[in-house]
Chains A and B, each alone.
Chain A
Amino acid sequence: MALSRRDFLKNGIQVAALGMVAPSFLVKAAYAISNDPAPPLPGEHNGDVPAVPDTRSRNVLVVLQLSGGNDGLGTVIPYADPAYYRLRPHLAVPREQVLPLTDKMGLNPALKKLRDLYNAGHVAVLESVGYPNPNRSHFRAMEIWQTGRPDVNEPTGWLGRMLAGDDCEEATCRIRGLNIGSSVPRTLYTESTIVPSLTNTANYQFRADGRFNRDRQAQLDAIHDVCSHAAPGGAAEFVRQAALAAFDSSDLLQHIVGPMDQNTGANNNPLTEGLKLISKVIAADVGARVFYISIGGFDTHAQQARTHTQLMGQIDDAISGFYSTLEANGHADRVLMMTFSEFGRRVAENASQGTDHGTALPMFLVGQGVKGGFYGNAPDLGALQDGDITSQMDFRSVYSTILKQWMNVDPSRVIEGTFPVLDFVQT
């Protein structure tokens, strides 16, 4: 099908109506930026297009993935337990350096700003989160956390399923979420969900410089036209949708993020940079509800102490900086950040002053919408299973709680089975 309608705005934002309906929220957002009144969209008067809900009131979830298996015991530390010091002769953090949260548990000394947020009531620490028969393979364990299915091999991700059924119709929403990185994680994947993935906005546009500059608009029109022909299905159709999503979201993201910090690749904490980009998109309030960002390096089989301290410092800076930005912009009350990792690490250290793959571990939930505090008990290091910590709560309970209490999504639509809803969200 060829283009049915085109709009060219004065400021250069192009909004193309592809297929039967325009990406309506994009049109509105684009006009909001241009200060021109939005023209009626096809079908808007006769009710063919469902009304776009007021996005201002909608809560946002930001997921921070700690890849490689984060050492839970070195993150939230059972500083009152002699077993911890016995099992970790080289790696244990000295008691006097731990930042106490309760009389038994405290934070890694590099998490000072997170401790301040905790003291202000904006951090929930969930202790020993896991699932039955824990898997110690990076890939399978990551898959389990990303898909929400420990029992079967599920191709789609839990966040993808949440987005796919969200009230914003698939054909009408292009920026439903945003991933920072060059490839989309399984967790955001469904056959029909396309989430923009980017590392910086400078490259997130159709470039035409030098001798092609004059020709840019003609090329854009042509490639749009090419992409408007449905492919026979399968991977080819997926590629076409991704290209369309690229065109649809590019100008909008350029305007939201602006000429920002194009050279900030030099910053040595890419996590901070990624979260800065996320905070700008959140502040622009264009309907995106899920943001995803990862940091790697947690697979500390050897010489763990230095690496882990450095990583803790990075997430401390990044999370606290992100929170401050949101607070300054007035969005801290509608953003909840969740951290997770595919597994914690073996309780006893190994001979390389590192730790091998383990099981249950703590999660952080950060935001004004959480009920701050410590959830669960100190892990019982006297009752290990195969040398690993027994889980106290199921990660699907955490997901279900976020879905129901924060995202206003029926958990049964996303999570197989029923899990207790926890009490860490302000209601």
Chain B
Amino acid sequence: MTDADRRWTAHLLRRAGFGWTPDELDQYAALGYAGAVDRLLAPTAVDDSDTDTLVAVAGLNLDAANKIGDGQALWLLRMLYTQRPLQEKMTLFWHNHFATAIQKVQDPNLMYAQNNLFRNQGLGRFDDLLKSVARDPAMIFWLDNNSNRKGHPNENWGREVMELFTIGIGNYTETDVREVARAFTGWSADRLSGQYRFLPNQHDSGSKTVLGHTGNLNGDDVLDILAGMRETGLFLARKMWRWFVNDTPDMGGVNRLADVYIQSNHNISAMLKALFLSPEFQADANHYATVKNPPEYLIGVLKLTGLGAALHDHLTPALLTGWARATGSMGMVLYVPTNVAGWPGGRVWMNPGTYFARTNTVEGLLLQPAATTALPTVTAVQRAGGNSPAALVDATLALTLPGADPAPLHDSLITYLGSDTSDLKLAGLLRLVLSSPSYQMN
């Protein structure tokens, strides 16, 4: 394995997953960069039964209306321990894309079912995902399609399916919105059973014209039209670019990904593979160039410091729901996106308030009961750095920010350490690194 492999594999795991434990980084780097990409893209080839067991025994439940905190905790548990990091990252990507919020859906079980839909179908063919989402009860309640009836269309889903989920604003007219709404009349869901149901009597089977196609179009016909359009490929490519590469999508790169969308018959994994193997993804300018989103930060810290592994056998509902509150204080309340367009992301994650949420969360984590013995990271740093402040700082930076410029941190950290090389002081050192502007970057 070359240093370059390790550097870019670390980058890949930060972007395509939620960071790495030192062991994980070693394992993925040993596959070579392309091998690591392949492994991420084949999640079902990796055994993840340990995570399923953790979820099953976590003592969390979704049956009370106020239990969304438990739902958030279950998801964070998966993000932390999954052996299929890209699958989990794409689950979050699709939650942000098909942004649905608990307030209107009300039943946490429905949010959880939607979450599983994203997990199971998030790397396949976009058409299939879209058709499942159109029948997803959480989405139906969220965008009021349960009250979209023949003769009385409710336009909410009809508009958002084009504006936010497929072709994007500017590519349809207000008439298209009304016609699409008609095509989805009768696509409903039952509150009691929490199941999708089609109400034939409520469906408008008259002729409709959507984006130039005329006929007795039903919802699936409309979704086929939308998924088949290059605009959808462009729209998804732009979002993937923002999510995985940088905040300013490069039109050349976005066009290439849209080509892959069309050529692969709308295959999401094919787009992601092209993205991760693109020169832009591995460009120096895009290394540590985006702001970590809240789970990237929180889960990344738990993995990196060894706290996640140390807590594996000591998880409690209180601990896990505490993590959910932490991402909330950083600006991402899972299952409560900012609005139907998801979270704005990018720089918007960072402001003085969310900065304090980050540094104070880290401060709290380093005081976890499970860290009664020295933090695993601190032990590793001591092993590498002995009693020399400079060597301890170097070891900390090598472990936490591989491939980053140490200059902004190095001297200040040596001054902070002074001659105190105790566990506590090294934990303080770690807090500082994790609070630095450098570490906020992904």
Contact = CB atoms under 8 A, between A and B. Distances in A.
B151 interface: yes
Nearest to B291: A235
B354 A203 contact: no
B408 interface: yes
A391 to B, nearest CB: 17
B353 interface: yes
Tell which of A184, A204, A235 has the most Cβ of chain B within 10 Å. A235
B438 A236 contact: yes
A208 to B, nearest CB: 6
B44 interface: no
Nearest to B341: A139
B174 interface: yes
A218 B419 CA distance: 13
Contact of A354 (B144, B153, B329, B350): B144
A204 B352 contact: yes
Interface stretch (A23-31, A99-107, A189-197, A408-416): A189-197
Contact of B159 (A136, A206, A243): A136
A38 interface: no
Interface of B is mostly: helix
Contacts of B409: 226
B352 A235 contact: no
A207 B352 contact: no
Interface string B336-378: 0011110110111111111111011001101100000000000
Interface string A62-89: 0000011000000000000000000000
A138 interface: yes
Nearest first, the 6 closest Cβ-Cβ pairs linking A and B are A351-B152, A352-B147, A246-B352, A222-B416, A229-B408, A225-B412
A137 B349 CA distance: 23
Given A215-B424, A301-B144, A234 B351 contact: no
29 contacts: A137-B159, A137-B163, A137-B169, A138-B340, A182-B353, A182-B354, A183-B331, A183-B344, A189-B348, A197-B354, A204-B353, A206-B360, A212-B366, A212-B431, A215-B425, A219-B428, A223-B436, A226-B409, A227-B436, A238-B291, A239-B291, A242-B351, A242-B352, A243-B355, A243-B435, A246-B352, A249-B352, A351-B147, A352-B147
Given A223-B432, A238-B347, A350-B154, A243 B437 contact: yes
A169 B144 CA distance: 48
B315 interface: no
Tell which of A179, A182, A296, A356 has the most Cβ of chain B within 10 Å. A182
B407 interface: yes
A240 interface: yes
Given A140-B169, A212-B363, A223-B436, A239 B408 contact: no
Given A139-B341, A235-B247, A351 B367 contact: no
Given A204-B353, A231-B408, A231-B437, A352 B144 contact: yes
A183 B367 contact: no
Interface in B396-442: 407-409, 412-413, 415-416, 424-425, 427-428, 431-432, 435-438, 440-441
Contacts of A40: none
B424 A182 contact: no
A-side interface size class: 35 or more
B346 A235 contact: yes
A368 interface: no
A357 interface: yes
A235 B164 CA distance: 25
A344 B328 CA distance: 30
B275 to A, nearest CB: 19
Given A196-B353, A203-B357, A226-B409, A212 B428 contact: yes
Contact of A182 (B163, B330, B412, B431): B330
A219 B154 contact: no
Given A138-B341, A212-B431, A236-B438, 20 more contacts: A67-B339, A138-B340, A139-B169, A139-B339, A197-B352, A207-B364, A212-B363, A219-B428, A225-B412, A226-B413, A227-B436, A235-B290, A235-B347, A239-B291, A243-B352, A301-B154, A351-B149, A351-B152, A352-B144, A356-B156
Interface string A242-254: 1101100110000
Interface string B115-157: 0000000000000000000000000000010010101111110
Nearest to A350: B154
A229 B169 contact: no
A404 to B, nearest CB: 29
B-side interface size class: 35 or more
B280 to A, nearest CB: 15
Contact of B360 (A203, A218, A351): A203
Nearest to B431: A219
A221 B431 CA distance: 13
A215 B427 CA distance: 11
B144 A250 contact: no
Contacts of B413: 222, 226
B20 interface: no
A184 B363 contact: no
A60 to B, nearest CB: 20
A186 B307 CA distance: 36
Given A205-B356, A210-B367, A211-B367, A240 B428 contact: no
Tell which of B351, B412, B435 has the most Cβ of chain A within 10 Å. B351
B408 A226 contact: yes
B424 A203 contact: no
B348 A184 contact: yes
A37 B265 CA distance: 72
A240 B437 contact: yes
Contacts of A301: 144, 147, 154, 156
A356 B160 CA distance: 13
Given A238-B350, A239-B350, A356-B156, A226 B436 contact: yes
A246 B356 contact: yes
Interface in A315-347: none
A122 B340 CA distance: 35
Contact of A386 (B153, B174, B360): B174
B147 to A, nearest CB: 3
A212 B328 CA distance: 24
A302 interface: yes
Given A197-B351, A223-B432, A356-B155, A204 B356 contact: yes
Contacts of A206: 356, 359-360
A194 B347 CA distance: 11
A79 B336 CA distance: 37
B398 to A, nearest CB: 17
